[in-house]
Chain A
Amino acid sequence: MPRNNNIQSVLIIGSGPIVIGQACEFDYSGSQAARSLREEGIEVTLINSNPATIMTDKVVADNVYLEPLEPESIIKILENHKIDAVLPTMGGQTGLNLAIKCQEMGIWEEFGVALIGVDIDAIEITENREAFRNLMEKIDVPMAPQKTAKSFLEGKRVAQEFGFPLCIRASYTLGGAGAAVVYEEKEFDKLLDSGLHISPIHEVMIDKAMMGWKEYELELLRDNNDNVVIICSIENFDPMGVHTGDSITVAPAMTLSDTTFQRMRNMAIKMMRSIGNFAGGCNVQFAVSPDEKEDIIAIEINPRVSRSSALASKATGYPIAKIAAKLAIGYNLDELSNQITKTTSALFEPTLDYVIVKIPRWNFNKFPGADRTLGLQMKSVGEVMGIGRSFQEALQKACQSLEINRNGLGADGKEVTDQNEILHSLEFPSWNRLFHIYDAIKLGIPMKRIIEKTKIDIWFLKQIEELIKLERQIEKFNIDTITKDLLFEAKQKGYADRQIAHLLRCLESEVYQKRSALNIRRVYKLVDTCAAEFEAQTPYYYSTFEEENESVVTDRKKVVVLGSGPNRIGQGIEFDYSCVHGVLAAKECGYETIMINCNPETVSTDFDTADKLYFEPVFWEHIYDIIQHEKPEGVIVQLGGQTALKLAQKLERYGIKIIGTSFEALDIAEDRGRFSNVLKENNIPYPEFGVVESAEQALELSDQLGFPLLVRPSYVLGGQKMKIVISKEELEHHVVDILRDMPENQILLDHFLGGAIEAEADAICDGENVYIIGVMQHIEPAGIHSGDSYAVLPPYNLGDLVMQQIEDITHKIAVELKTVGLINIQFAIKDDKVYVIEANPRASRTVPFIAKAYDEPYVNYATKVMLGEKKVTDFNFSPRKEGYAIKIPVFSFNKFPNVNKELGPEMKSTGEAIRFIKDLKDPFFRKIFAERNLYLSR
């Protein structure tokens, strides 16, 4: 059936603020869907309360509503626009839940809006475990023994029947909230109670735990003609027991025979067909018994795009959300073409001639006291994907992408050798189990014991063992004696020059020189959906060490934009927003744009975004090789957060041009000593401070500065390890703590201005002219990290005198630092005097917020300034200034029930929402102000 012409206008529901379990993968899918519909001439209206998204941008949708995801907002939209259909499958569980709520209230019916891409019954059945189980029984699909309980007593009865261990989870919740594996009764009682409490329908499901079964996921697409294709098979490295969002996953499936895979494929198709008649994407999870029977049981089915479908899209090149949107408006798969080859059919199943490994990124250090053991409840905040021609290469590249101060898996001198610690970690996985598996093998712990503890398939473990064997061989040599074959093998297996340098006891640069001399070079291969069977049109590349290089360099002028790597607290989707706009702006200026990033959840790694996408670790060696290959005019580092920025020094050292603000200026801003000199020279006030390198120095300095003190390491983002201390004991403890985790880092001690008001300004500067795009005032007093504060744009009670000081200082600093591009300055205001806390000459977390609130493309402008194409004075700024916009921080504390929720100078929020108010009489503002203005932080 061709496109349904009755649909001329579609509403897409976004997923709201980023929380653990629902991150920027839905910005990627929503943006893709919107573009895909607009290609068809359909008017797209978008609702999302998250301003830091590309999907809520004018470049993506026709009408954007940055409103709370509530039925009231939907009604408002439907009153303003003639909407023919709503596509609720792109906004995660949040989007679906809102669609259901509106359905129940009869809103869709009232306004004559069709639900497309899903049917409500399908959502109902997949969310209602008991109904789902009955359906599976009917269609003969086995599941783990399971019962639901609506009361404490009922739950206890089920536990008695099944015996421990058990899985318990609350019905209708996100990312496995309230889910856990329970080994004993006492724990069970507690979780049963809390699970019933957090479930909106007061229900928990209790499953027999299938611990150690192999876990798989399939991504499906179905059209109106009931054609179903499997886009990707994903195998979990971590078997059942760890939430799939917290599992290391691999595609394609590595240890699955065709016989078992086809059984699984048949089951998945049967399941999708059974839950309802809808055209769109679907994700099905399975477990396979680790014995000769290879029994398959279904775990769950999600009739929408998901985190896994975003991963599958990046893993295969097949844009699931884009195609799902087309199917939702009536197209059949055979009427669409493969978006990568452009010549073959979209009705097919991608096939891979490479391997991808996804590793989640956790942020446990932000949640002291949190239970760091992985289980049924997702705890990671982001993820990275490594692509290689082998599992080992992909694994190393994923480890290099993580930004956890490792150079890959192993060969960096950071091994743990405490047997007990390792054995415990193998059995009770946390963020570092992968590294501990490596350590265990290296230490000689028998494979049998590792399998017994981890239940990980021996194939994966043997792959890691092979790496260790290779390292042992390499270690026998030095940089002069290492053979070409061995060096080539190490590079093929994904080892970074740094790791090899560690093994050969030499410098990274020596390894680089040696391999260059031996002509061991990176080549680039295409992600093409078809394993090279057809020619592909889409420039989506990854590196490896082989013979043929497929990345042809054009003679156009080029610019590289460095991405921000995995999402984590303090560096999230906002930076991807800026990167994407940077790319689009550079395109407008006639540049060929080259994106480098390793985060599969993002819009920046959509092959439709930049002219060329290199899906590679944002890791020096990979970046340098791409630059050597492409020879761009320069590199934009100020959009990708600290990840990109911290590479500036090395770029400078290697003579690579940094586009926009120079490294020198970036360095001044980071170097507290140099920066305060600038402030002093310009008569700009700042809190007294000092720089120390040891606890001893810190204690001495504290006598001079006096308490309270704000203590933090330099060169960090999101207030990592930032703390306010009020005594010498606390100071000593915290400094020792920082130096343990970040040795050789300088530590800053600021006199803390208690009770001050905080504000921040973002500006664009071309070196001479400055335009302040917005000033935001925090509601909480100083001491709460700006990312965790409620903030109001423009300020709600700063007097003219204060505003004038802020503006003057911003101008002065921007010009003094010879800023070319964006700059963010943080202020503390006490007794009407404005002090500068810090300045960051880069895109900040608030830039997307201001751009959305004022409805102007500031990153676009800033990029054009960076590239020297425009001066600040060339733009006709006309911000939409009506009322106020409130930035609402959103936390994921519910994933860490035992963690102190108190806020402080270290950022803890995972996302944000925007709320527009007309004036300060607004009840929402008054409520927040009353609650937060006196928030006392330690």
Chain B
Amino acid sequence: MTERSPAVLVLADGTVFNGKALGIKGKTAGELAFNTGMTGYQEVFTDPSYLGQLLIMNTSHIGNYGVHRDESESDVMQVAGIIVKKFSEIASRVGGDGTLEEMMFRDNKLGISDIDTRALVRHIRQHGAMNAIVSTEQDIDVNALLKEVLEVPSMKGMELSSKVSTKEAFEVKSTTGKSLFKVALLDLGVKRNIIRCLNERDCDVMVFPMHSSLEEMLAYQPDGFMLSNGPGDPGAMQATHQLVGEIISTAIPVFGICMGHQVIALSQGLATEKMHHGHRGLNHPIKNLKTGKGEITSQNHGFVVAKSSLVGRTDIEVTHVHLNDDTIAGIALKNKPVFSVQYHPESSAGPHDSRYLFDDFITNMKNFKK
């Protein structure tokens, strides 16, 4: 309703949107991105891959069913701020744990509502991803905000994983009562559901900080390596490329998701590139080139493995492609039990069509153990 105080969104190209303030009073800047999912806002906002992103939610209503203790993908909200059309002040869910705004206050987050999000999305679609700033402060000076946003560094070349990776290694035990596999997970900004999907498949998972050494990880005696998702530019983390190269040369099975996929590619000499405005949503069509089947997938990436860098690489197979723009969505190394996907088979939020990839990983580990 009208009681909310005004807020403003200023884009790096000078475009201004006026709306209403959400969450704490303050300012927040980041790279604008949009997510087209119609459900799962809590999972999205707490996904570490969204660190540093000012996230536009395309769907009209956000916050309707509040938040729930079991539906966070990390401890806190990771987005730099949220941009929505209609924000629900109430939470309708019998088993829920309060409103989305309560969570925003808890995590010191802010956002803006009641703006023409569709116009904003179209603007990004035309002009590409760019930085922006939201202010919910009492005194709004658009010119000062514009100056400020121009000083925000570009996402390109920015390493962010270290900000969300665990500081200490920790183990999460299988939830099935059976511990058949040990997985060493390199945390580049892992979503909880990746760990859960492994736990549900008889895996104990040791989550390692991103700057761990191969020796430290091998000391766990893993049956497989999981390379997680994470925020930032995958090209800006050379040490990780090297570590992943070493991991792959152990011949232990490896499964990479999103950034994990990108660093596998980079470790093998492929290149990544920044996309015009990325893929973020729950409805992305992927074709599995091995089975010929389609999958509806959850995606969140602004960088992608460059197709051109694959030319002549007979040692690497493209296993999945994105049906909308033909970008590379999955690769496998031909003579090694290593595969990875650009999208999120653990989903959360999103469809469960691609969970079979975890089963494939288990099969690889089984074969390896033999």
Q: How far is the CA of A233 from the CA of B116 in the complex (A)?
A: 24
Q: How far is the CA of A550 from the CA of B92 in the complex (A)?
A: 34
Q: How far is the CA of A547 from the CA of B117 in the complex (A)?
A: 10
In the complex, are the beta carbons of B36 and A257 less than 8 A apart? no
Contact mask for chain A residues 366-410; partner B; CB cutoff 8 A; 1 contact, 0 none: 000000000000000000000001110000000000000000000
Q: Closest residue of chain A to B91, judged by CB?
A: A459
Chain B interfacial residues counted at CB < 8 A: 53
In the complex, are the beta carbons of B285 and A252 less than 8 A apart? no
Q: Closest residue of chain A to B296, judged by CB?
A: A349
Q: Closest residue of chain A to B348, judged by CB?
A: A258
Q: How far is the CA of A473 from the CA of B37 in the complex (A)?
A: 34
Contact mask for chain B residues 1-26; partner A; CB cutoff 8 A; 1 contact, 0 none: 11000000000000001000000000
Q: How far is the CA of A531 from the CA of B94 in the complex (A)?
A: 30
Q: How far is the CA of A350 from the CA of B64 in the complex (A)?
A: 20
A355 close to chain B: CB less than 8 A: yes
In the complex, are the beta carbons of B36 and A533 less than 8 A apart? yes
Give chain A residues whose Cβ lies under 8 Å from the Cβ of B34.
533
Contact mask for chain A residues 460-480; partner B; CB cutoff 8 A; 1 contact, 0 none: 001000100110010000000
In the complex, are the beta carbons of B39 and A531 less than 8 A apart? no
Give chain B residues whose Cβ lies under 8 Å from the Cβ of A548.
116, 118-119, 122
Q: Closest residue of chain B to A348, judged by CB?
A: B285
Q: How far is the CA of A96 from the CA of B124 in the complex (A)?
A: 47
Q: Closest residue of chain B to A465, judged by CB?
A: B90
A525 close to chain B: CB less than 8 A: yes
In the complex, are the beta carbons of A345 and B71 less than 8 A apart? no
Give chain B residues whose Cβ lies under 8 Å from the Cβ of A292.
94-95
The one of A255, A347, A390, A550 in contact with B86, judged by C-beta atoms closer than 8 angstroms, is: A390
Contact mask for chain A residues 200-232; partner B; CB cutoff 8 A; 1 contact, 0 none: 000000000000000000000000011101100
In the complex, are the beta carbons of A348 and B296 less than 8 A apart? yes
Interface size band for A: 35 or more
Stretch at the interface among A260-268, A707-715, A865-873: A260-268
B58 close to chain A: CB less than 8 A: yes
The one of A257, A462, A533 in contact with B121, judged by C-beta atoms closer than 8 angstroms, is: A533
Interface centre among A230, A351, A469, A548, by most B CB within 10 Å? A351
In the complex, are the beta carbons of B1 and A466 less than 8 A apart? yes
In the complex, are the beta carbons of B293 and A225 less than 8 A apart? yes
A331 close to chain B: CB less than 8 A: no
In the complex, are the beta carbons of B37 and A351 less than 8 A apart? yes
Stretch at the interface among B102-110, B169-177, B276-284, B328-336: B276-284
A798 close to chain B: CB less than 8 A: no
B354 CB to nearest A CB, Å:
12
A535 CB to nearest B CB, Å:
7
Give chain A residues whose Cβ lies under 8 Å from the Cβ of B323.
334, 344-345, 347-348
A320-369 contacts to B (CB < 8 Å): 332-334, 343-345, 347-355
B303 close to chain A: CB less than 8 A: no
The one of A257, A291, A333 in contact with B39, judged by C-beta atoms closer than 8 angstroms, is: A257
In the complex, are the beta carbons of B38 and A352 less than 8 A apart? yes
Give chain B residues whose Cβ lies under 8 Å from the Cβ of A554.
none
Q: How far is the CA of A470 from the CA of B1 in the complex (A)?
A: 8
Known: A255-B92, A293-B95, A466-B1. A351 touches B60 (CB 8 A): no
Give chain A residues whose Cβ lies under 8 Å from the Cβ of B283.
348-351
Give chain A residues whose Cβ lies under 8 Å from the Cβ of B125.
532-535
B292 close to chain A: CB less than 8 A: yes
The one of B1, B36, B324, B348 in contact with A351, judged by C-beta atoms closer than 8 angstroms, is: B36
Known: A225-B292, A351-B59. A546 touches B347 (CB 8 A): no
Give chain A residues whose Cβ lies under 8 Å from the Cβ of B64.
254-255, 459
Contact mask for chain B residues 172-208; partner A; CB cutoff 8 A; 1 contact, 0 none: 0000000000000000000000000000000000000
Q: How far is the CA of A767 from the CA of B118 in the complex (A)?
A: 48
Give chain A residues whose Cβ lies under 8 Å from the Cβ of B241.
none
B65 close to chain A: CB less than 8 A: yes
Give chain B residues whose Cβ lies under 8 Å from the Cβ of A466.
1
B320 close to chain A: CB less than 8 A: no
Give chain B residues whose Cβ lies under 8 Å from the Cβ of A534.
125, 324
B224 close to chain A: CB less than 8 A: no
Give chain B residues whose Cβ lies under 8 Å from the Cβ of A486.
2
Contact mask for chain B residues 100-136; partner A; CB cutoff 8 A; 1 contact, 0 none: 0000000000000000111101100100000000000
Q: How far is the CA of A534 from the CA of B94 in the complex (A)?
A: 37
Q: How far is the CA of A532 from the CA of B58 in the complex (A)?
A: 8
Q: How far is the CA of A486 from the CA of B3 in the complex (A)?
A: 11
Q: How far is the CA of A322 from the CA of B119 in the complex (A)?
A: 30
B20-70 contacts to A (CB < 8 Å): 34, 36-40, 43, 58-61, 64-65, 68, 70
In the complex, are the beta carbons of B94 and A261 less than 8 A apart? no
The one of B2, B119, B294 in contact with A485, judged by C-beta atoms closer than 8 angstroms, is: B2
In the complex, are the beta carbons of A254 and B36 less than 8 A apart? no
Q: Closest residue of chain B to A338, judged by CB?
A: B324
B93 close to chain A: CB less than 8 A: yes
Give chain A residues whose Cβ lies under 8 Å from the Cβ of B304.
none
Give chain B residues whose Cβ lies under 8 Å from the Cβ of A230.
296
Known: A292-B95, A489-B2, A533-B125. A257 touches B68 (CB 8 A): yes
B88 close to chain A: CB less than 8 A: yes
A107 close to chain B: CB less than 8 A: no
**Listed A/B pairs (7) with beta-carbon separation below 8 Å:** A255-B65, A290-B94, A333-B294, A343-B324, A349-B351, A531-B121, A533-B34
Partner-B contacts on A (CB < 8 A): 225-227, 229-230, 233, 252-259, 261-262, 265-266, 290-294, 332-334, 343-345, 347-355, 389-391, 457-459, 462, 466, 469-470, 473, 485-486, 489, 525, 530-535, 546-548, 550
Q: Which 6 pairs of residues, A with B, have the shortest CB-CB distance?
A: A292-B95, A258-B40, A548-B119, A345-B323, A459-B92, A531-B58
Contacts A348-B323, A391-B86, A459-B65 supplied; 20 other A-B pairs, CB < 8 Å: A225-B294, A227-B293, A227-B294, A255-B93, A259-B68, A334-B294, A345-B324, A347-B323, A348-B324, A349-B351, A390-B60, A458-B92, A485-B2, A531-B36, A531-B121, A531-B281, A532-B58, A532-B122, A546-B118, A547-B119
Partner-A contacts on B (CB < 8 A): 1-2, 17, 34, 36-40, 43, 58-61, 64-65, 68, 70-71, 85-86, 88, 90, 92-95, 116-119, 121-122, 125, 281-285, 287, 292-294, 296, 323-325, 347-352
